[in-house]
Amino acid sequence: MRTISERPFYINAIVVLPDHLHTVLTLPSGDSDYATRWRIIKARFSRQVKVGNRRASHLRRGERGIWQRRYWEHHIRDDDDFRAHVEYCWKNPVKHGLVKHPNDWPYSSIHRDLKWA
């Protein structure tokens, strides 16, 4: 919440899986600083997690080894593209064999979003 108050954005969809996450975010009009938001979110999260085993490359860079260094960013083109990416978030736990139905996965915005569908 602290990052949202400092650098506003809206979480349109999110799913947190055991080894990765997917989100669809909306930034304020005229603001495209997606990278800084992710850097802050990752850093703040990492500080809250106990340091585990790290590779030599993590040690050299002073990293916790929780996050991959890169991410995939996609600018939504239209309403169909938006819906497809939200549904991708929802269906990802099924794709990875974690559950049979998207709403069986507890760490997903599907529970918030389907209340309004």
> Does the annotation mark 10 as catalytic?
no
Cβ neighbour number for residue 77 with a 10 Å cutoff = 9
Token pair in block for residue 27? 């930034």
Which one of 34, 71, 88, 107 is the catalytic residue? 107
**Which DSSP string do the residues of 64-115 spell out, in sequence order?**
-SSS-S--------SHHHHHHHHHHHHHHHHHTTS-SSGGG-SSBTHHHHTT
Catalytic residues: 107
